[in-house]
Amino acid sequence: MRGLFLMVSVSMFSSFGLFAADQNPIEIDAPISKIYIPLGFDDNDNVEVVLHGDFTDTCHQVGHTVAVVDEASKTVTVSATAYKYPGKFCIQSITPFIQTVSLGIVGEGDYQVVYKNDKAVKSSLNVARRKTESPDDYLYATVENAYIDVNASSGKQALKIQGHFPMFFVGCMVIKEVKTVKAPEDVLVVLPIAEIVDNETCATQPSDRSFEYTVGLQAPFQGEGLLHVRTLNGTSLNRFINIQ
């Protein structure tokens, strides 16, 4: 009996080991259907494009991205992967996702951005000549979260941004104004312009330097699109939005 029990145990262990190995994720091409490209990049910016797609079940997660910039032909080829987890119970659902692709510093000009695995998915990128040697035209706040709030009764929309100001040994950071512009129509570009002050305002800030800022949207955003917020570190905060 001990021999039979040992044989069964070994067999079960081997089967379990095989089953566990089958759970390793498989890297596949991501189902990209749209490329969002915010306007406003200069030739001294870290240029970003944002890929959008939909997963059809809960057994997929975003993978990694790669971009190849050819300044001679003015083309940018981007690719993206997703991880598929086999052997799992998958709930069928349409789950939107986005993947931000950093292109780095790109020379001035008009580029065609194409998804490598589906050449029909493409968009246009304009990189302007820099207006200043500074990395950005403005000093931006350190935004960590952003969303559009819709008033249920009036239907009016307001943009809300949240974050934590950096610590300064002298003075403090405050938000001077927040500019919003649809550029292009399915991308809401947000410029949270900040400044450094040394006055009584600094004493009223929370000890953790957290902030929340609300600005009303004159033109409501409808349908699917991208919320693109410039931030202090030279990158951006990107959120997929769908307002019906």
Q: What is the Cα–Cα distance from 56 to 36, expressed in whole angstroms?
A: 21
Predicted confidence at residue 18, as pLDDT, reads: 39
Q: Which residues of the chain have pLDDT under 50?
A: 2, 4-21
Q: Are the C-beta atoms of 140 and 194 separated by less than 8 Å?
A: yes
pLDDT value for 17: 40
Residue 237 near residue 141, CB atoms below 8 Å: no
Contacts of 129 (CB under 8 A, 6+ apart): 42, 43, 108
Please report the pLDDT score of residue 134 as a whole number: 65
**What is the predicted pLDDT for the residue at 135?**
64
Distance separating alpha carbons of residues 111 and 69, to the nearest angstrom? 9
Q: Are 241 and 224 in contact (CB under 8 A)?
A: yes
**pLDDT tens across 143-183, in order?**
999 999 999 888 899 999 999 999 999 999 999 999 999 98
